[in-house]
Every structure is written in structure tokens, then in C-alpha cells.
Structure 1
Amino acid sequence: MTGTLQLRLVLHADDLDGALALFRDALGMPAELDLTTPTDDGDARVVVLEAGRATLELVNTPQRDLIDELEVGRPVSREMRVALEVDDAAAATDAALAGGAVEVAPPTRTPWGSLNARLETPLGVQLTLFTQVEPE
């Protein structure tokens, strides 16, 4: 059996500059790779941003509903949500809002000892910014 070496989440961005303004500039995810390839349809561009350690979190429907209730107070989740652990959830939320995200719920304390904010990104992907303030 071979081990997995990296988890890479690939998101399509019609407005790549806007996505970079949010994730790279506002949330501080440095570019690991920025590659442009000329094509007949225009320049094809990929930017890979570093996000620290990656995990794959699988939740069943009752857990998804519980997270929505605790973070937002109502059902809002889709089939996929991106969660980023940050140093300061409140400051990162402010930066993300300035970078183009829309607040779904402000930073909220969870029973798991974290401070979580829920945002909607211009990419149409929900984003949770969280800071672990107590041991899980």
C-alpha cells in the first residue's frame, strides 16, 4: 500500500485575481507555484497556495447539521466546505471580509473548544475559519 503525500483541493475561479486577493493576500496563504501556459483560448494559469497541514474531514448528515447549528444557527452547508485553521479567527474573518468574502456567521465558540466563523467566498464555496482555543 502506498501512502498519500498531499491533499490538494482544486477550485475553479472565474475571477482568479479575486480568489488570490482573498486566499493569498487576505488570508496569508503564500503561493507555492504560479504557472501560466499560453493556449489557443488565452493564458491558462494555475496557482497552488500553501495551507499548512491538510486533512480530509468526513462527516455524516447529523454531524453536518450539528456543525451548522453550532456555527450558524441554521442549515446552510453544501456537500463541500473548506475549513482553514488560522491564528486568530476574528482577525482572519475581518481580513477575509475585506478580501471579498461574505459573512454567513461571525466567529462563534463551539463545544469542541474552537472559535469558528462561516463565510461565503466569491467562488461559491463556503469557508470556515477556525482557531483552536482549547484542546480538542
Structure 2
Amino acid sequence: MDPVRELRLVVTVDDYDEAVAFYRDVLGLPERGAYEAPNGGLVTILEAGRATLELANAAQADYIDEVEVGRRVAGKYRVAFEVTDSAGTTQRLAEAGAAVVAAPVRTPWDSLNARLEGPGGLQLTLFEELGEAD
């Protein structure tokens, strides 16, 4: 039996409706559920395929930023989404209000990665695997 069944990233956002529309409707994350608390609190849980926890030291974070952006830009947290079309998804998210930090670039690990900042101040990497699928 696996001790952990799910990884969930919880983000508190200033503009809830904008964030839900962006991540659910534009990025295309399916909605698992949405709930309202008695105090007016709102939460929407979106599916994002399988989840992994990627731990990196500062040198690796520097290297990834250098490859994807050309300089150090990420804070302590960055969310990466594997997509089937990095360039097209980058354009779609930018049209929906994401700030493009760096256009898609081919990485030494054979993926096409773009960097954006989405609603809620989340730094996003969109990556498209270019090598053979596992």
C-alpha cells in the first residue's frame, strides 16, 4: 500500500473567478469539485493528471531558470504542467492573461519548456516531452 495517495497544491488567490477560469477553462484542468463554506469561502479542486513532488537544490533551480529563461526568476515555488503542445498552450494562456516570462525553448533534457506567471502569482513551466514517451 502506498502511504500517500495524492499530492495537492493549495493556492490562495486574490481573484478567485479569474484563477478558476484560467486554470480550468483555458489551461483545461478538469474540475473534480467546487465547494462553498458557510463563511462565503470558495474552493475548486482541479485534476492535473499525476502529481509529483520535485525537490531541487538552489544550484539546480538556478540551472533550470538559466535554461528556460536565461536568468534566475523563480521564487521558492514553481508549478510545472506537462502539455502536448508547449507553444500553443503558451499562446493560449498568454491570450488569457498570463505573463510570458520566456517563450518555449528546447532544453538539454529534450523537452520544450516555456515559463509564465499565472493568476495567483504562480510561476508556471509548461513542458512538452520531445523524446520517446515512457
| TM-score bucket of the superposed structures, by smaller chain | over 0.9
User: 1:3-59, CA deviations, whole angstroms, 9 ceiling, x for partnerless residues?
Assistant: 1000000000111111012110111001101111232xxx11110000000000001
SS of the residue corresponding to residue 105 of structure 1 reads: strand
Alignment correspondent of 2:32: 32
Shift of 1:135: 4.1
User: How many residue pairs get matched?
Assistant: 133
Alignment correspondent of 1:91: 88
CA-atom RMSD in angstroms: 1.4
SS of the residue corresponding to residue 123 of structure 1 reads: helix
Alpha-carbon separation, structure 1, partners of 2:130 and 2:115? 17
Alignment correspondent of 2:117: 120
TM-score, normalised on structure 1?
0.93
Alpha-carbon separation, structure 2, partners of 1:13 and 1:90? 26
Alignment correspondent of 2:61: 64
**Higher strand residue share:** 1
Selected match of 1:73 from 70, 73, 89: 70
Alignment correspondent of 2:17: 17
Asked whether the equivalents of residues 21 and 99 of structure 1 are also in contact (C-alpha less than 8 Å), the reply is no
Matched letter for residue 116 of structure 1 = N
- Which runs of no fewer than 5 residues in structure 1 stay unpaired? none
Alignment correspondent of 1:52: 49
Matched letter for residue 86 of structure 1 = V
Shift of 1:122: 2.5
Alpha-carbon separation, structure 2, partners of 1:96 and 1:8? 22
Q: Which range moves more in the overlay, 14-23 or 104-113? A: 14-23
TM-score, normalised on structure 2?
0.94
Percent of pairs identical after alignment?
52
Instruction: Spell out structure 1 runs of 4+ moving beyond 3 A.
Output: none
Alpha-carbon separation, structure 1, partners of 2:2 and 2:50? 19
Alpha-carbon separation, structure 2, partners of 1:98 and 1:20? 16
